[in-house]
Structure 1
Amino acid sequence: MNQSHPRAGSDKKQRRWFHEFPDPMVLIFMVLVGVYLLTFIIPAGEFAREVIDGKSRVIPDTFAYLTGVEPLPFFDLFLAIPQGMINAAPFLFIVFIAGGLFHVLQSTGALENMIGVAANKVGASNSTKSRNLIIVLGTFIYGFFGVAVGGENNIALVPLGVLVAAAVGCSRLVGVTMAVGGIGIGFALSPISPYTVGIAQSIGELPLFSGWGLRLLMVLGSLSMLAAYICLRVVKMEFHDEQPVEMSKALHEYRLSRQDLTILGIFLIGLISLLTGIFTRGWYITEISAVFLIMAIVIGLAAGMSANQLVKRMMEGASSVTSGALVIGLAASIPVILQDARVIDTIVKSLSSVLEGMPVALAAVLTSIIQGIINLFIPSGSAQALITMPILIPLADLIGMSRQLMVSAFQIGDGLTNLFIPTAGGILAMLALGRVSYAQWLPVIVPIMVPIYAFCWVLMVIAAHLGY
């Protein structure tokens, strides 16, 4: 009898190793080790660069392998982790501050009251049809913000999706998929994104945001598939939630007080200020974090909190997203290894050379796949455009592909992969704020990405044959 216990424990450990998805930190560290080992195989190389309008661009046909570059010491594998966290500091801080802001906001009860009143008015508790209507509308609203505002700029809206899901009787996973998936797809396929389309078209000497029709069709079709997937599949998924969000009372009991309206007004003014700063003053993560901090303080004062109570709420909210923030920092160590080994340009050159001599339609599809691979190493869409488009635009001319189609292929490859790669800091930040781990997210988002990719590829092939 005594001998059977160790064997049973051993079997349990084996089952856990083979059948449980690794913790996000374990998964990303495995990727980091794999990337480190690749630096011993991939030779160092660089393109020459030029600075135009303050931005560094690659000069095509200037790639050269580098000699005398020593392999990275084993110690550098671990040195890259704190360096990655330093590089990702803006993302880490916005997660902590946004976590604090929403804990303050939720503790006032204003958000829950607003969502409860809204859900009651549309009869969300009465039928599956009403629930699905809210999910579809929510997905498209989040998609609109992704199209118009961008990715990370919408991080403040993710917890709202969780509350909406709770109001219609769904898990946190439904709300996060609606919010993060909608924002991610909207940004990925946006016809008017200045961060990706704008830069890529300027390099390709195309009119700004021209060719928007194809991208609009892609984003509308993809959001429709995501909404249907959430309604038909995600709502039925089991989700282990350590901190489940539940409505505190029946929907018909919710009311909005004058204080609730004041707090929601402050929150709305804060969001409008953010959008104004983003579009007129070029604000990004650091400025957004500062506005979040101001919003938290003003909302706390409006709710009658003392200074000590406000700080306590902020600390509680920040501590609840610590694990997610650390995942972002660890993921940011992957590009550090590649930059230190000086192999990023070699990867870009090798992947882009695969396209030469291919039919235009196939080359367009493969370009999106190649850009997706590159996005793992260069997760910034604007940086990726500046590095790869000076190579891909001349290549498009060489193989007879229109520059417009090349820009769309770049956008698909860069944008859609952000929804599931471990180096996309903005998406990881949103997941951290929604309190869904990367390991929980992957099995949910990957299945719907397959038909979305297929849909976009079919549209690109049709566009290639129509001379887009």
Structure 2
Amino acid sequence: MSKSKPKVPSFFQRIPHAITMLFGIIVLVTVLTYILPAGTYERILVDGRNTVVPNSYQTIVGTPVGILDMFKAIPLGFKEAVEIIFIVLAGGIMFGFMEKSKAVENAVGTMVKKLGLKNKHMIIVLMTFIYGILGVAVGYENNIAMVPIAAVLSLALGGDLILAAGISVGAMTIGFGLSPINPYTVGTGHKIAELTMFSGALLRSILCFSALGIMAYYNVRYFKKITLDPNKSLGKGLDVNELALSRPIQEYQLNRKNWMVISIFLLGLLAVLYGVFNLHWYINELSAVFLIIALLCGLVSRMSATTMSETTLKAVALAAPGAFMVGFATSIKVLMEMGSISDTISFQLSNMLQGLPLYASAICMSISQTVINFFIPSGSGQALATLPVMLPLGESLGLTRQITILAFQIGDGLSNLVNPTLGGLIAMISMCRVPIDRWVRFIFPVLISILFLAFTTLIVAVAINYS
């Protein structure tokens, strides 16, 4: 009797744990500081921000990172990422109070009851686009408080936490990354290129909403797959305690306290939107608003001081793994700065584009921005570091400035779907309690499909001399 051969794990099943993956990148960057020459561009202050001077790259004395400094970069990464780390905790505390009040569970249960379980697929598509529009219009980390709601919704529909991340994090990352009005990438790029702010919005809008359509399709497809065979769920074994609905859908309704909690949450979101767009609020102000919402939710729910204290610590415990991952990922950026190799990578990649055919140069420029994004995960930071170099290079290759910025936006925005060094991504998938290794297994086919669409759009842009 012949023995059956053991099943060989697929490529995605071999993706290491998130901690292992990030530590591997830390070791790789440390090694690169010994291989790559240290170098820097000259920078000048423009409107309060450091901008690269084209053709100013020069090598400098190398500062390779030793073993002690490699591990020292980890606490320094936590220090640099403290604002994002705390907003993960603050968002977790706020959601913990809302969950304790049963307002989120009752609201989601009531919504699903009203729309009907027969319309599950429509709900998934609708919510994917709603989260995508939040990414387009509001921003990225600004939406972190909305992520856990998708977790409750997905479980209420019979999905899992991976689907929740697809509906919320996937859609918001695509919406923000390809937004025609993204102030950090398109806005900064247009300012550097001296183009009309947010010009060329039609082509970008078509690309953005088509990409969200692909995300919605994959979400529904994944939901159908795990509904037919729960064993195919990538979310098996993930902690769904206090996220899943506790009773049948037909029993849900909103009471007065629930409405008060939801009203406080919505008023808090309105305050955030007003502050972001009118008062230049950022992460610390958002964290403060989240904490105020949490306190008010506890008070209107008539929680005792002991209950509020226990709820806070329980929420912190659930949010702590994600907060840790944010600091751990940021240590990679610290290592790049220690070894002075960020500008070297940008310089070498820009040199590789010389002499390429017109259409290939546009696509390769986008790919080079993808590579750079893993080392400079900030959209505006990457724009300020690379576009002063890429814009004149693109013109010498025959690409308009608008095409160069589109290539930059695609390379930066889409790679954020799988970028382990992006604190915002790590923070938001952690709010769905999804580790990055499982997230990559889910989102990678989506990324490939959207990249094909984006590169096709780039080819069209070159063909019509997009300007």
TM-score with structure 1 setting the length: 0.94
2:267 corresponds to 1:243:
no
User: % of aligned pairs identical?
Assistant: 38
Check 1:225–1:242 CA distance in 2 against 1; reply closer, same or farther (3 A cut). closer
3-state secondary structure, aligned to 1:57: strand
Instruction: Tell me, in whole angstroms, the C-alpha distance in 1 between the residues paired with 2:149 and 2:161.
Output: 10
After superposition, where does 1:76-95 map in structure 2 within 5 Å?
76-95=69-88
Which residue is 2:374 aligned to? Answer: 376
**Within-5 A mapping of 1:102-121:** 102-121=95-114
Contact residue 142 and residue 179 of structure 1 kept, 8 A: yes
**2:337 matches 1:339:** yes
Deviates more, 1:185-194 or 1:300-309: 300-309
Number of the residue aligned with 1:401: 399
1 CA distance for matches of 2:341 and 2:436? 27
Structure 1 gaps of 5+ residues are 1-11
The C-alpha deviation readout for 1:323-342, integer Å capped at 9, x for no partner, is 12111111111111111111
RMSD, aligned α-carbons: 1.7
Mean alpha-carbon deviation: is it higher for 360-369 or for 48-57? Answer: 360-369
Deviation at 1:224, TM superposition (A): 0.6
Segments of 5+ residues of structure 2 without an aligned counterpart are 1-5, 227-231
Range with bigger deviation, 165-174 or 344-353: 165-174
1:422 aligned counterpart, secondary structure: coil
Secondary structure of the structure 1 residue equivalent to 2:355: coil
Counterpart among 182, 189, 192 of residue 200 in structure 1: 189
Q: CA separation in 1, counterparts of 2:384 and 2:63?
A: 27
Residues in 2 aligned to 1:200 and 1:376: alpha-carbon distance in whole angstroms: 19
Deviation by residue 1:340-366 (Cα, 9 ceiling, x = unmatched): 111111111100111222222211111
CA contact (8 A) 1:146 1:187 kept: yes
Paired position in structure 2 for 1:97: 90
* 1:60 maps onto 2:49 in alignment: no
Assess if the C-alpha contact under 8 Å between 2:93 and 2:312 holds in 1: yes
In the other structure, the counterpart of 1:9 is none
1:231 and 2:220 correspond: yes
Quote the residue 1:72 is aligned against.
65
Letter of the structure 2 residue corresponding to residue 113 of structure 1: N
The residue correspondences of 1:115-194 to structure 2 (distance < 5 A) are 115-124=108-117, 127=118, 130-194=119-183
Deviations 1:151-210 (A, max 9, x none): 111000000111111221111211111100010000010000111110011000000000
The aligned counterpart of 2:3 is: none
Q: Is contact 1:173-1:234 (8 Å) kept?
A: no
- Check the 8 A contact 1:97/1:314 in 2, yes or no: no
> Does the aligned pair in 2 maintain the 1:143–1:187 contact within 8 Å?
yes
Residues 385-442 of structure 1, C-alpha deviation per residue, up to 9 Å, x if partnerless? 0110111111122111010011111001111111101101001000111111112211
CA contact (8 A) 1:97 1:293 kept: yes
Equivalents in 2 of 1:164, 1:225: separation in Å?
20
Kindly indicate whether the alpha-carbon contact (under 8 Å) linking 2:238 and 2:434 is maintained by their aligned counterparts in 1. Answer: no
The one-letter amino acid paired with 1:189 is L
**Is the aligned partner of 1:48 residue 2:42?**
yes
Q: Residues 78 and 119 of structure 1: is their aligned pair in 2 closer, same or farther, counting only changes over 3 Å?
A: same
Deviation at 1:242, TM superposition (A): 3.8
Task: Show the counterpart of 1:465.
Answer: 463
CA distance in 2, matches of 1:389, 1:94: 30
**Can you list the C-alpha shifts for 1:428-465, whole angstroms capped at 9, x where unaligned?**
00011111111221100111100100001001101111
**Alignment check: 8 A CA contact 1:234 1:444 kept:** no
Instruction: Indicate whether 1:32 and 2:26 are aligned.
Output: yes
Q: Deviation at 1:17?
A: 13
In 2, Cα distance between equivalents of 1:341 and 1:172: 38
Cα deviation, 1:296-328, whole Å, max 9, x if unaligned, reads 001110100122211211110111121121111
Distance (whole Å) between structure 1 residues aligned to residue 401 and residue 10 of structure 2: 49
Question: For residue 384 of structure 2, what is the aligned residue in structure 1?
Answer: 386
Tell me the distance in 2 between the aligned counterparts of 1:88 and 1:392: 28
- In structure 2, what residue type is equivalent to 1:203? I
